[in-house]
Amino acid sequence: MNIVLFHSTLGPRPAVRQAADRLRDAGHQVWTPDLFEGRTFDSVEEGMAHQDGIGREELLKRAVLAAAPYSERGLVYAGFSLGASIAQTLALGDHRARGLLLLHGTSDLAPNASVDELPVQLHVAEPDPFETDDWLSAWYLQMGRIGADVEVHRYPGAGHLYTDPELDDYDAEAAEATWRVALGFLETLQEAQTGS
């Protein structure tokens, strides 16, 4: 699959490159846009301050420009936390999107959003301070209403960004389970695309 993978509010940390390498090792083509122009952060608070300074519209503009050269191929949009939010927004606006892989995050849906059975997989901690149970329930129902085919995987006791080995949030067991399931999801998308 052709995958565009967006980083979290902590910026393009090594974990993003490691995730991209894991996906490439599984046979996928992966692009990792840098929406922060090289800036990385060690705390969510610092990252969110930087993110707010750039602004949501500018971040989305940068993301669209980064994905545009590859979108005609039919992309799987993916991302971590903030990057998942951006990936969701782009995927729901791209009729050629092949799938949506959300790690640690979701986003509001545009009022006019509509997709044709877009495969969506979400991996999130349980509980997650940024993705509350009430929010996730509402999000799941909304995604279903607009035509997405959604599956949600929760990881009890994991931290918010539990797939990043350099963070206190890291949970090795949850991270490996996430990648195992996510790679299976991508393999299913690949089979659907090739008709095998």
pLDDT for 70-127, tens place per residue? Answer: 999 999 999 999 999 999 999 999 999 999 999 999 999 988 899 999 999 999 999 9
Banded model confidence at residue 194, pLDDT cuts 50, 70, 90: confident
The string over 174-190, giving b where at least 16 C-beta atoms fall within 10 Å of a residue's C-beta and e elsewhere, is: bbeebbeebbebbeebb
Whether residue 11 is predicted with pLDDT greater than 90 in this model: the reply is yes
How far, in Å, CA of 166 to CA of 4, rounded? 22
Whether residue 195 is predicted with pLDDT greater than 90 in this model: the reply is no
Whether residue 196 is predicted with pLDDT greater than 70 in this model: the reply is no
Banded model confidence at residue 193, pLDDT cuts 50, 70, 90: confident
Query: What pLDDT is attached to residue 106?
Result: 98
pTM over 0.85: yes
> Which CATH code for domain 2-195?
3.40.50.1820
Q: Are 52 and 45 in contact (CB under 8 A)?
A: no
Give the start-to-end residue ranges of the domains of the chain. 2-195
82-92 vs 56-67: helix crossing angle, rounded to 10: 60
> Nearest CA to 144 among 173, 120, 177?
120
Query: What pLDDT is attached to residue 27?
Result: 96
pLDDT in tens, 18-76: 999 999 999 999 999 999 999 999 899 999 999 999 999 999 999 999 999 999 999 99
Q: What is the DSSP secondary structure assignment for residue 137, as one 8-state letter?
A: H
How far, in Å, CA of 17 to CA of 32, rounded? 8
